[in-house]
Structure 1
Amino acid sequence: MHAKRSPLAQLQRDMLTAILTTTPSTSTQSPDPTAVVAEINGGTLSPSKRLHLYQHNVTSTLCNTLTSLYPVVCNIVGLAFFTEMARRYIDVKPSHSGDLHDYGATFADFISRYQPAEELPYLSDVAKLEWHWHVAFHAADVVPFDLARLQPLSDSQLDTLKFQCAPSMALIASPYPLLEIWLFNQPDDAAGTDIGTGDKQINWDIDEAYVVISRHGTQVEMRTLAAPATIFCAHYVLGQASQMPQIQRTRMMINLIYSKRLATLFCGNG
C-alpha cells in the first residue's frame, strides 16, 4: 500500500509539472495553472509572473547547456535558429535531474526529425560527433594495456582474442565528410568560412566517412579511419576480422594499444 503523498510533496510535484510543461517559447497552455498559482504569494509581481520567471530560467539554463554542448551545430545554423530548435527540444525532452551532465544525449535524433533543419541533412551527424566529444572528455581514465601480456598467447588464442576499447572511444559512420565539416565550422574561426567555398573546401565526393573519437589525458582527439579499420574496431574479436591479412590486423591492434584507445584484451573463452 502506497503512503499518501503529503500536501507539500504534491505542491512540489505540481510546481515541477507547471514549469516543465509550460515553456515560454511554444506552449499554448495557460501560464497560470490554477493549482500552483493559487499557492504562490503575490507582491510586487503577480503569482503568474513569478511562475513565468521560473519557466524562463529553466528554459534559458537548458538552452545554454545545449549551446555549450553543440557549438559547431550552433555555428552552422546561427544562434537564433539554434535557440528555437533547442527550445522545441526542451518542450519534448525537459531535464528531470539537477545534474545536466547527461542532458542533450538525444539532441542529434531530434535534429534528424526537425523539419526546419531538413535542408542540412548532415546536421544530426555533426551533433552526434559533438555529443561523443562531450562523452569522451568526461569518460573514466583507464590504465594503458601492457603489450607484454600478449607474449605467452598461441596463434589460436590470438584468433579468439577480444578487446575492450577505452571508455572515451567512440566510432561514428556518416555519408558526409563529418570531420571536415566539424573542423571548418569551428565557432572561433574568425574567417567564418562557408562550407565548400573559399580557400577551405570540403570534399563532398565520398561514399562514407568514419571518425574515431578518443581522449588522451585531457585532450580529445578525432581522426578519420579507413573502412578496414572500422570493421576491425566494430567486431572486437580478432578472428571475426579474418578477411583482413594477419599483418594488417596486427598493425591495427598495435595502433590501438599505442594510441591508448585499447583498455583490455582477453580470450573469448576466458
Structure 2
Amino acid sequence: MPSLHEIQCRFARAVLEQDPAALFDHIVGGAMDAQRSLGIYAGNVRHNLCEALRAVFPVIERLVGEPFFDATAGRYIRACPSTSGDIQRFGKSFPDFLAQFGPAAGVRYLPDVARLEWLTHEVFHAADAEPLALKRLGALAEADAACLRLKLNPACRLLASPFPVLHIWQANQPDHADAIEIDADSGGDWLLVRRSGFVVEVQSLNVGEYAMLDALDGGAALEPAYQRALQAAPGFALADFIQRRILDATIIDFDACAAGLIPAPGRS
C-alpha cells in the first residue's frame, strides 16, 4: 500500500504531466470513470495556471500572439510546475524558460521583457515600507561612509538589459491600439521598478545610478558602492543621488551599527 506522500506525488504527476495511469487504482469509482475524472481536474488546473501566467505576462502574449502563448504556457506548466500554494508566485522562472525555449529563440528580447513584467508583478505584491524618518538624517550625514549601508525599499527591483525593453513594454500596453515596430539593436536599458502607493513605476536610469543601486541592493557599504558608480560614470554626484532617492523612498533606511554610531531601529 503506497503512503499518502506517494499517492500525492502520483496525483501531481497525473495532473501536471498528463500521466493518469499510475493513479487509476487509487480512485474510487463513481458516476465517471477515473480517467475522465482526472481529465476534468487536470484541465482546470492547467487552465488556472495558464490564466495566472497570462495575467502577469500580457506584453509577452501580445508580442507572440495568443496561440503561441498558450502552447508555450502549457510547456512551461509541465516543465516547471508550481511549488507554492500561492498562485501569485507562479511564473518566476518563466523568463529563464523563454531564454531556453527553442521556438522563441527568434525574438531575442523576449526573456528580458518577461523579466520586466515579472518584476512589475513582484513589486506590486511586495511588502510596504515606511520612508526614512527625518530625525535620523542628521546621523546619516555624520556616519562613516566606509561602514554605512543604505537599505532599499522592498518594493523596488533593478533590471539591466542589452535591449530597449522599456520602449517595448510601453509600446505594448493596452492603451496602444497597434503594436509599434521595435529596433532590438537600438540600445539597452538600466531600469528601476518601484511602487509608489498602489502604482508601479518603471524608471530609466543612467549607468551610474544603476551601478550604485545595484551595489547597495547587493549589500555593499556606501563607499564601495560609490566607487562602483564612479567607475561606471566618472563624476557621479553622490549627494544628489542620496537626496533624490531618500525623497522618493527608494532608500528607506540605513545601518551604521558597525561603527557604533547609530542604533538600528528597535535595538538598544
1:15 aligns with 2:11: yes
Q: Which runs of 5+ in 2 are unaligned?
A: 260-268
1:217 aligns with 2:197: yes
Per-residue Cα deviation, 1:142-188 (whole angstroms, up to 9, x for no partner): 110124423245667145421110001111000011111100011x2
1:180 aligns with 2:180: no
Structure 1 SS opposite 2:103: helix
Given that residues 108 and 124 in structure 1 are in contact (C-alpha distance below 8 angstroms), is that contact kept between their aligned partners in structure 2?
A: yes
Aligned 1:1-270 pairs, distance under 5 A:
6=3, 10-22=6-18, 31-33=19-21, 35-152=22-139, 157-186=144-173, 188-189=174-175, 191-196=177-182, 204-206=185-187, 208-236=188-216, 237-240=221-224, 241-242=226-227, 243=230, 248-267=237-256, 269-270=258-259
| TM-score for both structures, normalised by structure 2 | 0.84
> Mean Cα displacement is larger for which, 246-255 or 66-75?
246-255
Change (3 A) 1:153 1:115: closer
Per-residue Cα deviation, 1:81-128 (whole angstroms, up to 9, x for no partner): 111111111111111333212111100000001111111111100111
Given that residues 147 and 257 in structure 1 are in contact (C-alpha distance below 8 angstroms), is that contact kept between their aligned partners in structure 2?
A: no
Structure 2 SS opposite 1:75: helix
- Cα distance in 2 for partners of 1:147, 1:138 equals 27
Q: Which runs of 5+ in 1 are unaligned?
A: 23-30, 197-201
Aligned partner letter, 1:216: S
Identity of aligned residues (%): 31
Structure 1 SS opposite 2:258: coil
- Alpha-carbon RMSD: 2.4
Structure 1 SS opposite 2:49: helix
Structure 1 SS opposite 2:69: helix
Given that residues 159 and 238 in structure 1 are in contact (C-alpha distance below 8 angstroms), is that contact kept between their aligned partners in structure 2?
A: yes
Structure 1 SS opposite 2:87: coil
| TM-score for both structures, normalised by structure 1 | 0.84
Shift of 1:38: 2.8
Given that residues 139 and 167 in structure 1 are in contact (C-alpha distance below 8 angstroms), is that contact kept between their aligned partners in structure 2?
A: yes
- Cα distance in 1 for partners of 2:139, 2:26 equals 72
Given that residues 95 and 103 in structure 1 are in contact (C-alpha distance below 8 angstroms), is that contact kept between their aligned partners in structure 2?
A: yes
Write 1 or 2 for the structure with the bigger share of helix: 2
- Cα distance in 2 for partners of 1:61, 1:39 equals 25
Shift of 1:65: 0.7
